[in-house]
Chains A and B, each alone.
Chain A
């Protein structure tokens, strides 16, 4: 594996329903550490499946995938890998409604051995960095869509992951909030040198990443280096 590459994917294939649906049909991709990538394509093209493979949420049928030095085809339980290396941001934020903002951000830390005080300290700091210091004791249901997504970003960052995987992070937001969230993600990516991979079907969002990958029918059809930085 090239030292610069944090992700290396070779001829990755994934089918569903006994091979009838080819979700991924021979994906080859290399992503450098600290790079920002947007994966774009129509619904059902395989972009979310690819994201799930990188995030070790799903297993490929064939091919090779190495993420942050871990061969994801070999190991069965990848929970710890996800905990230490990946931060997920979902389209619908997926926060736990009965927990406060602060508690939601701390949920990944329950799997770690970080002491209670440090856990809370870290969650507070991250919430401050996403401008939610005044909302820590509120329940997600009391927050706006943009605020919820910022909590989700804080939760994704709390374990200091090396890769952030964002699946349509602005998909459920209005354009103004969408811009704020996108700026926040790109800002974190730059400041923390975190690799950012976003799945989107919005071209203007995709264009903000260093590189865009166009996926269609489970294959990478086009790669483009974006200049608008």
Chain B
């Protein structure tokens, strides 16, 4: 069927009148409309707010496990049951003799092997250091700072990227993670005292791993001197050469040192992290679903109440010639407009809450950022709640017998 221009114009004008009627109905009972908007907005805020946090956690963890140049790490086998993996080896963990790095470098398929010493210390609110031994570091867990010792030429093996300043060029210089810099109020040129030794900050780095971004990186020899672990490393980062399967290579290395070393591939670390993230994500979804359910009930109840109060009016509209479809369209239209308002309210609410939590430092190291997918999820939830919440009351309204509706008191 072909529509003429004039019929299209008249149809759009008819829709205009209908649309203005829907808008007027929305603002008719403001408190009820506000309640419905809040109901939908709770669902949107829950999905978007929790999504902001879990998305950043996932991104950060995946970045830490997969984006690094090293394909896997090698640790002392006595540490392996704890599953500390590539990011572990802190505190009391057993170390590896540095000579092993050269041996691993000789294994066929190894492109490069780099040693790294890791420990942690409590720098707290001051820059004064704690004990100098590896085991003595990290007495107060609440404000622990990771200290990583790795040669400046090997930083990329641990996915450390300088975002500001330059890397360290001697044993008196360090670079600092961006989260640690904020927390300790340090910038380029600042002094920092670790274990009674003063270091100068030459650069600020970012890894994408929120744990490592809380740390300080210095040369391997500087940290070995500081902790007294000369000739020792916590882990060896290994990169497979092109065409070599990293998992197979890790198995080979482990077979070569069955009693001394164990390997932790990104894959296995990923699986462990994924399991953890899955739990966080499931929890976030459970909370979101609960919020969606509560929001849905609020919308249905408020829309039912709106329809019930207007029963007689709906009877009049049916009497003067409105079709069931028109009544259905009016109520769903009202629910749709409420959803659109709720999208804005819900998104603002989500951002506001996350920002507020960020200010309290409860989400230290996490930088929530909006993604299109997350916004679409929020819009989807609002439309779902609005339409689902509106469909049943709209259906009931459209099925009302005009005579019964007109008799309604």
Interface residues of A (CB under 8 A from B): 52, 55, 57-58, 77, 79-80, 82-84, 86, 88, 90, 94, 96, 98-99, 103, 106-117, 119, 155-156, 159
B11, A159: Cβ atoms under 8 Å? no
B403, A58: Cβ atoms under 8 Å? yes
Query: Could you say which residues of chain A place their CB within 8 Å of the CB of B319?
Result: 55, 57, 82, 88
Query: Could you say which residues of chain A place their CB within 8 Å of the CB of B13?
Result: 115-117, 119
Interface residues of B in 16-50 (CB under 8 A from A): 16-18, 21, 24-25, 27-28
Query: Could you say which residues of chain B place their CB within 8 Å of the CB of A107?
Result: 21, 317, 320, 322
Query: Could you say which residues of chain B place their CB within 8 Å of the CB of A77?
Result: 323-324
B14, A94: Cβ atoms under 8 Å? no
- The verdict on B401 contacting chain A, using a C-beta distance below 8 Å, is yes
Query: Could you say which residues of chain B place their CB within 8 Å of the CB of A58?
Result: 401-403
Query: Could you say which residues of chain A place their CB within 8 Å of the CB of B125?
Result: none
> In chain A, what residue has the closest Cβ to B312?
A94
What is the number of residues of chain B that contact chain A, defined by CB distance less than 8 Å?
Answer: 32
Least CB distance from B239 to A in Å reads 71
Least CB distance from A153 to B in Å reads 13
Contact of B402 among A57, A98, A113, A117 (CB under 8 A): A57
Query: Could you say which residues of chain B place their CB within 8 Å of the CB of A94?
Result: 312-313, 315-316, 406
A98, B28: Cβ atoms under 8 Å? yes
- The verdict on B7 contacting chain A, using a C-beta distance below 8 Å, is yes
Contact of B318 among A79, A98, A119, A156 (CB under 8 A): A79
A57, B403: Cβ atoms under 8 Å? yes
Contact of A82 among B7, B11, B321, B401 (CB under 8 A): B321
Query: Could you say which residues of chain B place their CB within 8 Å of the CB of A99?
Result: 21, 24
B16, A116: Cβ atoms under 8 Å? yes
B320, A88: Cβ atoms under 8 Å? yes
> In chain B, what residue has the closest Cβ to A58?
B403
Please measure, in the bound complex, the distance between the C-alpha atom of A40 and the C-alpha atom of B275, giving whole angstroms. Answer: 79
8 intermolecular pairs with C-beta atoms under 8 Å apart: A57-B319, A88-B319, A98-B24, A110-B17, A110-B21, A111-B321, A112-B14, A115-B6
B321, A119: Cβ atoms under 8 Å? no
B323, A79: Cβ atoms under 8 Å? yes
Please measure, in the bound complex, the distance between the C-alpha atom of A86 and the C-alpha atom of B27, giving whole angstroms. Answer: 31
Interface residues of B in 283-322 (CB under 8 A from A): 312-313, 315-322
Least CB distance from B389 to A in Å reads 21
Please measure, in the bound complex, the distance between the C-alpha atom of A90 and the C-alpha atom of B312, giving whole angstroms. Answer: 12
Please measure, in the bound complex, the distance between the C-alpha atom of A79 and the C-alpha atom of B21, giving whole angstroms. Answer: 19
> In chain B, what residue has the closest Cβ to A112?
B14
> In chain B, what residue has the closest Cβ to A115?
B10
- The verdict on B193 contacting chain A, using a C-beta distance below 8 Å, is no
B322, A79: Cβ atoms under 8 Å? yes
Least CB distance from A54 to B in Å reads 12
Please measure, in the bound complex, the distance between the C-alpha atom of A113 and the C-alpha atom of B403, giving whole angstroms. Answer: 26
B9, A84: Cβ atoms under 8 Å? no
Least CB distance from B374 to A in Å reads 37
A79, B403: Cβ atoms under 8 Å? no
A119, B21: Cβ atoms under 8 Å? no
Least CB distance from B310 to A in Å reads 9
A110, B403: Cβ atoms under 8 Å? no
Please measure, in the bound complex, the distance between the C-alpha atom of A114 and the C-alpha atom of B11, giving whole angstroms. Answer: 8
Please measure, in the bound complex, the distance between the C-alpha atom of A159 and the C-alpha atom of B401, giving whole angstroms. Answer: 22
B16, A80: Cβ atoms under 8 Å? no
Please measure, in the bound complex, the distance between the C-alpha atom of A106 and the C-alpha atom of B18, giving whole angstroms. Answer: 11
Query: Could you say which residues of chain A place their CB within 8 Å of the CB of B16?
Result: 116
Least CB distance from A72 to B in Å reads 13
Query: Could you say which residues of chain B place their CB within 8 Å of the CB of A82?
Result: 318-321
Please measure, in the bound complex, the distance between the C-alpha atom of A159 and the C-alpha atom of B406, giving whole angstroms. Answer: 21
- The verdict on B186 contacting chain A, using a C-beta distance below 8 Å, is no
Please measure, in the bound complex, the distance between the C-alpha atom of A118 and the C-alpha atom of B264, giving whole angstroms. Answer: 78
Which of A98, A103, A112, A156: most chain B CB closer than 10 A?
Answer: A98
Q: Which 5 A-B pairs have the closest CB atoms?
A: A83-B321, A116-B13, A79-B323, A108-B320, A94-B316
B9, A115: Cβ atoms under 8 Å? yes
Please measure, in the bound complex, the distance between the C-alpha atom of A53 and the C-alpha atom of B145, giving whole angstroms. Answer: 84
B326, A111: Cβ atoms under 8 Å? yes
Residue interface bits B365-406, CB-to-A below 8 A is 1, else 0: 000000000000000000000000000000000000111001
Query: Could you say which residues of chain A place their CB within 8 Å of the CB of B326?
Result: 110-111
Least CB distance from A227 to B in Å reads 33
B17, A111: Cβ atoms under 8 Å? no
